[in-house]
């Protein structure tokens, strides 16, 4: 490809709203352009890299028995209504009516569509196991798109779906995906970690997320360096400190004028925060099986030295969504902002207490009266919770649930996920097979996703320097950036033209900067675009019958005899490929704790 014909331009500066490195560099290097919040076009350089990522994904899926299909972006609403997700998912799911007034969905994921295919195509145990996948556009009307391709509204994903007769078969395919994901990400020169995660709207019994560690990540991961426990903070467990063995004491009301925070209350009473009960007031959307969501007031209580984990709370009460309650809503149930407790409240709020609160005697809690708290509050004696569950968020330095060593917190970007769906969708949609004895059973399913654009962004985020991008050989849009320094008609231009043809004939992908621009602009653009090998044809080198080679990852340049330029380029590119392939290794499977 000649740069004089390339359908993109490099930018000296990134737009002011591009805040993260990958977004800035992909824009500046001419890989993508933005149309609206979370909506991008891939330009030729970006599309070539995306296509290479997709091909790596295809190869790894095919290697574990995958068959590629293509499912539609638009789904009939009936499928989503049959599974219940029509009601369970909020405004992120885009619903519309076609010209015949039929309700439709812009698919944000394809479990419904694939299960509809399964119930049409799978009838006998002889057809199992099976694995199908597709690479398709999706739409999620995310209210907070950010960081370029890392969080968007329209995106391309690989979804694969395993189909089995039993849980043992699902376990085999789940583990095969686990290894395949490490293989394909390593081939993209990424170093992910697999962490236990929330099954969320997908449902099922187990899930892993594949995370690339980076300070700009939206997810917080809790990691143990001793036993290698790893989990998304949304679901991370931790060993809670032992509670004092005390007999319940009489309830006592005390004045605490102007004390509305846990920190101030602990200081006022000269007690540790662990002796206090922290009330968090939420409004939850609960979703019955076939009805629209209903709102319930939720009274969540954790110990004063802990923080509420909203994901754990939502899972405990099967809530579709949670939001903080307003002061008016808090007072409507007889509670008082800053001084709340479940004692003496009105109506039918859901009372959810963390298991550490349930186990802790004689806590301090609000008296539901401004300026007053209660001493010696005991769960079970002074109020009855509707739920007792682990709803506290793990923090750095908390004890690992597996070995007790301190946990550390890291930020990460999710590039892939795998879910054990079980029979959640096949039962809803009637996707069954008949066993050897003629008895019907629901197909056991798994779902496995990878964000193609997000993978590209993560590569850009982790492979760059002050000059620009540094593409791994496996996903670089071109292998070689060929530059000529000299005017048209010069010896350098003639040599570069022949070298361009010879490299292409040898199967090397070349981006040839044939523009009449200054050497500084050409070198800057080459560093910004970040192809693995730069070859420069200039008068100084040709005086020694040589051309200049420079790897993007190297500081030094070297002169290569002109007659050996093509062969030497192939050697260096092969070495780069071998370096990436050397990363492929078997990764022991680790189930979420």
Count of CB atoms situated within 10 Å of the CB of 513: 23
All CATH 3.30.930.10 domain ranges of the chain, comma separated, are: 19-208+413-461
- Specify which residues 68 forms β-bridges with: 133
Given a contact cutoff of 8 angstroms between Cβ atoms, the answer to whether 452 and 158 are in contact is: yes
Beta bridge partners of 386: none
Cβ neighbours of 212 (radius 10 Å): 23
Question: Exposed (0-12), middle (13-18) or buried (19+): which is 524, by Cβ within 10 Å?
Answer: middle
Coil vs helix vs strand at 301 = strand
pLDDT digits (tens, 9 = 90+) for 114-155: 999 999 999 999 999 999 999 999 999 998 899 999 999 999
Number of H helices, E strands in the chain: 16, 31
Architecture of the domain delimited by 478-580: 3-Layer(aba) Sandwich (3.40)
Q: What is the pTM of this model?
A: 0.89
Q: What average pLDDT does the chain have?
A: 93
Tell me the pLDDT band of 477, cut-offs 50, 70 and 90.
Answer: very high
Half-sphere exposure of 397 (CA within 13 A, CB side): 2
Is the confidence at residue 91, as pLDDT, over 80?
Answer: yes
Q: Which CATH superfamily is domain 19-208+413-461 in?
A: Bira Bifunctional Protein; Domain 2 (3.30.930.10)
Model pLDDT for residues 341-390, shown as the tens digit of each residue:
999 888 789 999 999 999 999 999 999 999 999 999 999 999 999 999 99
CA distance 431 to 440: 10
In the prediction, which pLDDT does 290 show? 46
Cβ atoms of 75 and 107 closer than 8 Å: yes
Q: Is 213 helix (H, G, I), strand (E, B) or coil?
A: strand
What pLDDT, on a 0 to 100 scale, did the predictor assign at position 321? Answer: 84
pLDDT range class, residue 288, cuts 50, 70, 90: low
Of 449, 408, 341, nearest to 110 (Cα)?
449
Q: Where in the chain is the domain with CATH 3.40.50.800?
A: 478-580
Q: Sheet of 558-561: strands edge to edge?
A: 510-513, 480-485, 533-538, 546-551, 558-561
Q: How far apart are CA 108 and CA 92, in angstroms?
A: 8
Q: What confidence score (pLDDT) does residue 289 get? A: 46
DSSP SS3 for 513: strand
What is residue 88's predicted lDDT score, i.e. its pLDDT?
Answer: 82
Give the least confident one: 78-92, 196-210, 569-583.
196-210
Phi, psi dihedrals of residue 286, rounded to the nearest 5°: -100, 140
Distance between alpha carbon 548 and the CA centroid of its chain, in Å? 41
DSSP 518: -
Residue whose pair of structure tokens reads 């187990």 in the numeric block: 206
Q: 252-389 maps to which CATH number?
A: 3.90.960.10
Q: Is the pLDDT of residue 241 over 80?
A: yes
Query: Per-residue pLDDT tens for 392-433?
Result: 999 999 999 999 999 999 999 999 999 999 999 999 999 999
The angle, 0 to 180 degrees and rounded to 10, between the axes of the packed helices 44-63 and 167-187 is: 140
Cis peptide before 129 (omega within 30 of 0): yes
- CA–CA gap between residue 280 and residue 339 (Å, rounded): 11
Q: Residue 45 — very low, low, confident or very high, per pLDDT cuts 50/70/90? A: very high
Query: DSSP secondary-structure letter at 394?
Result: P
Instruction: Outline which parts of the chain fall under CATH 3.90.960.10.
Output: 252-389
């Amino acid at each position: 490809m000649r740069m004089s014909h390339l359908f993109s331009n490099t930018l000296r500066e990134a737009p002011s709203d591009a805040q993260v490195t990958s977004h800035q560099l992909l824009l500046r290097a001419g890989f993508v352009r933005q149309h609206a919040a979370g909506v991008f076009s891939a330009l030729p350089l970006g599309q070539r890299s995306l296509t290479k990522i997709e091909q790596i994904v295809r190869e790894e899926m095919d290697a574990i028995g995958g068959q590629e299909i293509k499912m539609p972006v638009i789904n009939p609403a009936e499928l989503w209504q049959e599974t219940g997700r029509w009601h369970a998912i909020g405004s992120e799911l885009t619903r519309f009516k076609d010209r015949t007034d039929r309700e439709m969905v812009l698919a944000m994921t394809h479990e419904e569509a694939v299960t509809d295919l399964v119930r049409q195509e799978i009838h006998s145990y002889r057809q199992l196991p099976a694995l199908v996948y597709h690479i398709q556009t999706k739409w999620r009307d995310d209210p907070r798109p950010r960081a370029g391709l890392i969080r968007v509204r329209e995106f391309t994903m690989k979804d694969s779906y395993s189909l089995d007769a039993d849980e043992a078969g699902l376990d085999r395919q789940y583990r095969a995906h686990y290894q395949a994901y490490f293989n394909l990400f390593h081939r993209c020169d990424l170093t992910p970690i697999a962490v236990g995660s929330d099954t969320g709207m997908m449902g099922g019994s187990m899930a892993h997320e594949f995370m690339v560690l980076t300070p700009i990540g939206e997810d917080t991961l809790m990691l143990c360096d001793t036993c290698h426990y790893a989990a998304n903070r949304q679901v991370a467990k931790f060993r809670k400190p032992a509670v004092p063995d005390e007999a319940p004491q009489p309830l006592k009301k005390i004045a605490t004028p102007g004390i509305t925070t846990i920190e101030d209350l602990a200081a006022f009473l000269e007690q540790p925060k662990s002796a206090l009960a922290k009330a968090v007031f939420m409004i939850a959307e609960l979703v019955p099986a076939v009805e629209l969501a209903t709102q319930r007031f939720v009274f969540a209580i954790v110990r004063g030295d802990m923080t509420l984990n909203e994901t754990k709370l939502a899972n405990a009460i099967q809530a579709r969504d949670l939001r903080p309650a307003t002061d008016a809503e808090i007072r409507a149930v007889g509670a008082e902002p800053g001084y709340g407790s479940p004692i003496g409240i009105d109506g039918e709020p859901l009372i959810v207490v963390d298991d550490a609160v349930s186990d802790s005697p004689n806590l301090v809690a609000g008296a539901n009266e401004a300026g007053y708290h209660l001493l010696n509050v005991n769960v079970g004696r002074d109020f009855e919770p509707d739920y007792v569950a682990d709803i506290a968020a793990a923090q750095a330095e908390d004890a690992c649930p597996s070995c007790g060593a301190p946990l550390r917190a890291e930020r990460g970007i999710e590039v892939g996920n795998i879910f054990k769906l079980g029979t959640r969708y096949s039962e809803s949609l009637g996707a069954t097979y008949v066993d050897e004895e003629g008895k019907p059973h629901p197909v056991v399913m798994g779902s496995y996703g990878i964000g193609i654009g997000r993978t590209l962004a993560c590569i850009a985020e982790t492979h760059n320097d002050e000059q620009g991008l540094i593409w791994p050989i496996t996903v670089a849009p071109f292998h070689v950036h060929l530059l000529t320094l000299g005017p048209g008609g010069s010896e350098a231009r003639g040599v570069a033209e022949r070298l361009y043809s010879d490299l292409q004939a040898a199967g090397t992908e070349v981006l040839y900067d044939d523009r009449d621009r200054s050497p500084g602009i050409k070198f800057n653009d080459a560093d910004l675009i970040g192809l693995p090998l730069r070859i420069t044809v200039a008068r100084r080198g040709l005086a020694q019958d040589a051309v200049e080679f420079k790897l993007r990852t190297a500081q030094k340049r070297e002169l290569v005899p002109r007659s050996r330029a093509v062969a030497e380029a192939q050697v260096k590119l092969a070495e780069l490929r071998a370096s990436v392939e050397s990363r492929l290794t078997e990764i022991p499977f680790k189930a979420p704790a």
